[in-house]
Structures are given as C-alpha cells and as structure tokens.
Structure 1
Amino acid sequence: MGSKHVFVVAVIYSLCAVAVASNPCVSTCAGRPTGDYQSRNGCNVYATCVNGYICDNRPCVAGTVWDDTLKRCEMTSTTCPPNPCVTSCNGLVSGDYQSCNGCNVYVTCNAGHLIDNRPCPSTLVWDDSLRACARTSSTCS
C-alpha cells in the first residue's frame, strides 16, 4: 500500500471519528455481529458485516445519508452530519477539510495547527467528499 493511500485512509478515518463520535465507523468486521454499520468512507455509503467480513462503500440512494442509529439511509442523519466542518485539528491528520466559515473557503490542518479561510478559486466551492474545490459540492450548501 502506497503512502498516499495510507494518508487518504487516515484522513477519512479521522473525519469519521469526528463526525460520528457516538457511533464509531467500521473499518473491520472482526468481532462484530452481522449487520449494517456507518462506513469510514463517508455519509452517503455504509458498510455491511457478514461473518466477520466487510462489504464497504454500499451506496445510499441519491440524496440520502446513513443513520447508524436507525441502521438505514435517510434524508438526514443524527450520526453522520451532512456538513462535517472543522473548527479544530485535534485528532485529525494533516490535510484539507471543510471550513465552518462558508463553502468558498476550506481549512488546512498541519501537525495539529489549523489554517482557516483558505480560498477556493472564485467559481468553485469546497466539496469535502472530494477533498477539493469543485464546481458543485455535495457536502456544503
């Protein structure tokens, strides 16, 4: 596994731990009963555990997000908020994240230090699922 892949997995796992503090994300099914769980890969997918094996990135129907309390995809989620903005870098790996100050800016965490209000180009907005500025955003409105 390359260092870039490890970094991406670490970023996603860190975000999931922040977004779903009361319902930890599943990265392995070892010791878990068969069932559906919050994925470490985002709010619009979920993971299924069967006999200790994981099937991750199972998509929710367009426009819905996984709610781990209800164990199904819904229009809103109490366990995976649709706007996972960052106000602190505590517990996050270095990288770029969604700012709480608007969709046209983002946050960079660097060794625990927060750099906020980093601008997207004028015609773009931050999309946290892409970890980049894009024409449209599924995570910021």
Structure 2
Amino acid sequence: VNINVAVDTPYGLVAPVLRNVDRKGLAQVADELEDVAERARAGTLKEKDFVGGTFTVTNLGMLGVDGFTPIINPPQVAILGVGRMAERPVAVGGRVEVRPVMVLSLSFDHRVVDGAPAARFLAAVAERLARPGEVVE
C-alpha cells in the first residue's frame, strides 16, 4: 500500500508518496513522513517521490479546519480528509462529557468502490483513532 500525504509547502500543496506502509511499523512510517515533509518544504523532491500512490491522506486540522470534502487525486480512487481535533460535548452513557473529536471525510470513486465497504473502512479508521494506545506497535 502506497499512501500519498498532502504537505503544505511554500510552493503550494504537494502530495508525496510513502511506499509499502502496510509492511512497516507506525514509528517507521512516522519517521518517513517527517523526512518526506521536510524534503517537500525544501523543494528537493523528485518526480519519483509523487508517483505510484494508491490512496491519499490530507489533513487540514492544523489550519483550524473542522471538516472538509477532499478531492480524489486521479488515478487514485479514494482520499481521506482529516479535520482538527477539538474538545466537544458528547453524550456518553446518558451524560454529557467533553471529549476530543475530529471529523474524518472519505471521498471515493463509486465506479470502483462500493459505498458499504468504504463506510466500513472509514468506521475502522475512526475506531482505531478512538483508541490510540492500541494503534502503536
């Protein structure tokens, strides 16, 4: 699985690819993400750093955006948009509690991906993010 990640740079938004993330641990992926983001901001990425992605993740949360509708990068068939995490009142067991909440938006090409599997994928991502202690290696 090769995942493009959107990076805001002085030259505009770019989406370099992280390769074979399904075969790597979270720490290695995080290190590679930091490296590719630094190279993107420095303007030193090559064409090979952008091609071959199968899915894109874009995050506008750091810009204070709660939610948005990301646009698919062809020839890919899906993109995940991540909004900012903010403290919000939520109902928990009949009580109102303040909890961290973030909006995830999945855009996908319905000609290739049916809605039900896409919804299950998004629910699985949300479930894992809700339990961050279980996500780490």
Give the TM interval when normalised to the shorter protein. Answer: under 0.3
Larger radius of gyration: 2
More helix by share: 2
> Using CA pairs below 8 Å that are at least 6 residues apart, which structure has the higher relative contact order?
2
The TM-score with structure 2 as length reference comes to 0.26
